[in-house]
Amino acid sequence: MNAAVLERPRMVVPKLGPCPIVETRRLVLRPHQAADADAIAQSLDDWQVTRMLSRVPAPYSRGDAQDWLNMVRGTTDWHFAITEGDGVHIGCVSIELRHGRWHLGYWLNRFYWGQGLMTEAVSAVLDRFFRRMPQTELFSGAFADNAGSLRIQERMGFSILGCSDLFSMARNAMAPHLETRLRPEDFRRP
């Protein structure tokens, strides 16, 4: 039998293209820059932020931020720097392709929590994503003790798919994690 006959057709996943600039009422979401390393390191060296993230080590250094910036530079995933009018980096919203599925991730400097900024940023990014990829499901999740993140996802229309343990680099332990999914028709713009 011919080897070409045995090969399965490869699934073609559309690319997002370059990370755009998105403006909201209070924020400018833009591609990351090398100059963001200090602000990223300062935000992610805060245990209150880092403990809620699965792939971020603690403590977190400027070198870690530079490594991450080098890794995401030139990818076709979207890694938005969240900035206010002064251009200072206060957080991140990312949409990236992992294992054939699009995933949403985000974090915000703790001193900006409770102001609705992350809801505003995530909503704007999801709106742009679904205009670019209108038939695409988006996956996300949060550790079970991250009520704020779960509220944001609920407001956007995400549904919980299940709960399992996920390793957290910062915690250096497994922790209960809720996996979520957003179908395009369920997206609610706040």
Q: pLDDT of 32-63, one tens digit each?
A: 999 999 999 999 999 999 999 999 999 999 99
CA distance 117 to 113: 7
Write out pLDDT tens, residues 85-139. Answer: 788 999 999 999 999 999 999 999 999 999 999 999 999 999 999 999 999 999 9
- In tens, the pLDDT along 134-165 reads 999 999 999 999 999 999 999 999 999 999 99
Confidence bin at 4 (pLDDT 50/70/90): low
The encoded tokens of residue 68 equal 């991450």
CATH topology of domain 20-186: Aminopeptidase (3.40.630)
Which uninterrupted H or E stretch holds 160? Answer: strand 159-168
DSSP three-state, residue 102: strand
**Whole-angstrom distance between the N-terminal and C-terminal Cα of the chain?**
56
